[in-house]
Structure 1
């Protein structure tokens, strides 16, 4: 009996060709087929949760199972369920006007699958940030090719082995190290390419995609600012921000990177942040609940940013437990670190940290925070702590960011009702819920009428007196509406 080939038996080009042919054979899969594919994606994650979380732990060296279970496993499921529950409605063509329909002029927008979607995943949340967009792409009726990060090699290995147990290669395929570099993947002629990662790599992915005129969604990072308003409870804000900076060892694209605090509360804020860190981490080096930096290169980069800032005059305070020598290159752990006095010539002022380091500034007027934020590339998330007052509106109106979250970390990620995505340097496009479905859908316009006269006849000679009267009348109507302010 001939064995059905898996992704590992084929080249990237061969996988793409198989998926393209399968899509052409069934370009409009029904709602039942789509729901079944999403259900199998759920099963892939849930059936193998223990093995997947262990693989992530091995990739990091130290990453708590609870964190992986919550962020990579459990958090992936609500959006998949939302897609399954709503895709039948989303698939239906949108009718523009039933009045015009009855008058013989039909307009509608079809929601067609794009074809074959490529998804390039990151290493910081190697399941969530591939499974959720893959679910949206399947809901939209597409075939999917996934390229997980090479940094989390063990997790990638498990996904490569498991995927064929749930999907035929022409439905969903996972590319492994045998399929080459990430650039080999992004150079394929996909119908849509979805990438999550750094702005630097995102630019390279966009260049590769441009060669094929492939539309891209880029979910990137950036230095996320926090503005603590005078209406905020300083103690509560400091503890929340301190905890946010530690999630996944600070290796989250949504982590707060720098904070603006009213000048009068600066010392209290900094003391409380350090107190929160020390209370959470009585031990670090041998603590399996403290996530390690994912690899040596990232560890050295973060330590280098701290050393550069201190050498150039920044004040550094950390939460290293007594008796522990940190940072520790063997276990790749860095004590949570707070910096004040950071200036523009320091590398950390412009580089995304992606580690357990928080920069804090004092401010007298919210305008200072607005100017600082606007002098830098647009972040993925802007955090606000305080009431939703007129100062919040000033910050929201006069800055640009992918999203705004108030008084807590990443709270919009829990809802499929609002989009998630960046702007400018932090990305383009968005997903989650209906927004994810639309990202991977071609909104295809249909217009037709049943009238005797045609537009084309109006636009070619002879331009009879009747045509001229019609054109003149139309022009007078437009001018009259303009005069009336309509």
Structure 2
């Protein structure tokens, strides 16, 4: 079935059929949950094949578990989310009644990335189904085994007028972004996100963009270096750094630069020994991505920056070892581009104001990490360094909270979803006013008489406080 045909089937069904009720939404969410749990082994194997070596445990803990928890959370709460809510009525219109209803948008397009192919495909799908929508999915061409498997599993579990998967390369992705969806979700790079937004604008399609950027990890002087290094190493090297909210660079007090770098590498060597053959350490997705990472390191070395790795691997190895770069120049690509790999630049600072000034030079990031036990420092950094989301004294964990929205700000994205925030994102907030047995506003006229003129003058004086 062609891409246009799939879209039109869903579009027409969304206009012709009534919105799914609570029972239908819960059934769809349960069907999706069973799809994941019953095919876990096949999905893990497909993702491993696409990566050329993807840690099984990472797929289970970072994709399977949060996907299943999101689906269960939505099933448990969607009844409350759907419930119409009474709203206050302006006194001039009493005894009327106001109601707020959240209704499906229609057809949601989901363009998913390769780095977490299961979570970042089915996460937005979960929220779209909870909101009563239909969905068309375009997985990444860099994960062909997973994409083909997902297409087959979705076709077995859902009518194509409800949910369908379209596979293909860049041309299919361009055509997908140009369809007149009721909402389009894209997760990926900022550069591609700009193109997706331009394509969507032609149809006035609203978008949710989950991009990335240079997410900083700030270690305040009061925090223990070893504890911060452990958390930052975890967030940076899980999935070999191929995480949109991975710490992109660390800012540490200048006198602790060496100690911090050594602690990061010690944690990497202890938790991820022999990275070239360690099944718990993921490979880089493609030779082109790996070549880019090596080019970033070559430029850093040529500039005189110190580059230290947890192990020495040949350049043609599908893995890149956990690596730190000490005091890199701000002009380097390493400090200008999102790294998206297991390379951690470590930038020394003299004062916290200096660290915050450096963060402010970059575009607003998708995530911010701060390590401090002082409330004043926490408030200072949160006020001075906007970001999509924040984890304090840890990394990555804000994304796993279903009660918190997840999304970017500025070039790191627009819009947020997850849990109730996702339900709201993929719903239309429809206001309904019911006129009461008496309509006092209409009784004023027209024709506008003395009472109407007196009311207009009285309300005007009252509004002005006179």
* TM-score calculated relative to the size of structure 1: 0.92
For 1:413-432, what aligned pairs fall within 5 Å after superposition? 413-432=399-418
Going from structure 1 to structure 2, the CA distance change for 1:138 and 1:231 (only over 3 Å counts) comes to: same
User: Any conservation in 2 of the 1:62–1:289 contact (CA below 8 Å)?
Assistant: no
Which string of whole-angstrom CA distances, capped at 9 and with x for unpartnered residues, describes residues 361-414 of structure 1?
Answer: 121211011111111100011001121420111110011100111111211222
Which string of whole-angstrom CA distances, capped at 9 and with x for unpartnered residues, describes residues 180-220 of structure 1?
Answer: 52111111110010111111111111111111101111111
* CA displacement at 1:328 relative to structure 2: 2.8
2:382 aligns with 396
Counterpart secondary structure, 1:287: coil
User: Any conservation in 2 of the 1:27–1:115 contact (CA below 8 Å)?
Assistant: no
Counterpart secondary structure, 1:298: helix
Going from structure 1 to structure 2, the CA distance change for 1:36 and 1:101 (only over 3 Å counts) comes to: farther
Q: Which runs of 5+ in 2 are unaligned?
A: none
* CA displacement at 1:275 relative to structure 2: 1.3
User: Is 2:132 the counterpart of 1:154?
Assistant: no
* CA displacement at 1:44 relative to structure 2: 1.1
1:446 aligns with 432
For 1:254-403, what aligned pairs fall within 5 Å after superposition? 254-320=245-311, 324=312, 326-329=313-316, 331-403=317-389
User: Is 2:148 the counterpart of 1:163?
Assistant: no
1:84 aligns with 75
* CA displacement at 1:466 relative to structure 2: 2.9
Counterpart secondary structure, 2:378: helix
User: Any conservation in 1 of the 2:92–2:441 contact (CA below 8 Å)?
Assistant: no
2:32 aligns with 41
* CA displacement at 1:457 relative to structure 2: 6.6
CA distance in 1, matches of 2:246, 2:400: 16
Going from structure 1 to structure 2, the CA distance change for 1:179 and 1:231 (only over 3 Å counts) comes to: closer
CA distance in 1, matches of 2:210, 2:68: 20
Which string of whole-angstrom CA distances, capped at 9 and with x for unpartnered residues, describes residues 112-131 of structure 1?
Answer: 10000011111000000111
Counterpart secondary structure, 1:256: coil
2:168 aligns with 177
Counterpart secondary structure, 1:335: coil
CA distance in 2, matches of 1:406, 1:97: 38
* TM-score calculated relative to the size of structure 2: 0.96
Counterpart secondary structure, 2:433: strand
* CA displacement at 1:468 relative to structure 2: 2.2
User: Any conservation in 1 of the 2:444–2:451 contact (CA below 8 Å)?
Assistant: no
For 1:187-226, what aligned pairs fall within 5 Å after superposition? 187-226=178-217
Q: From 62, 65, 88, give the equivalent of 1:74.
A: 65
Counterpart secondary structure, 1:239: helix
Q: Which runs of 5+ in 1 are unaligned?
A: 1-9, 482-486
Going from structure 1 to structure 2, the CA distance change for 1:353 and 1:178 (only over 3 Å counts) comes to: closer
Instruction: Please provide the CA RMSD for this pair.
Output: 1.9
User: Any conservation in 1 of the 2:444–2:452 contact (CA below 8 Å)?
Assistant: no
CA distance in 1, matches of 2:424, 2:91: 26
Going from structure 1 to structure 2, the CA distance change for 1:42 and 1:469 (only over 3 Å counts) comes to: same
User: Any conservation in 1 of the 2:85–2:99 contact (CA below 8 Å)?
Assistant: yes
CA distance in 2, matches of 1:62, 1:452: 69
1:466 aligns with 451
* CA displacement at 1:104 relative to structure 2: 2.0
Which string of whole-angstrom CA distances, capped at 9 and with x for unpartnered residues, describes residues 3-31 of structure 1?
Answer: xxxxxxx1111111111222223232110
TM superposition outliers: structure 1 runs of 4+ over 6 Å:
98-102
CA distance in 1, matches of 2:427, 2:212: 25
Equivalences, count: 465
* CA displacement at 1:176 relative to structure 2: 1.3
2:56 aligns with 65
Going from structure 1 to structure 2, the CA distance change for 1:95 and 1:101 (only over 3 Å counts) comes to: farther
Going from structure 1 to structure 2, the CA distance change for 1:202 and 1:167 (only over 3 Å counts) comes to: same
Going from structure 1 to structure 2, the CA distance change for 1:391 and 1:467 (only over 3 Å counts) comes to: same
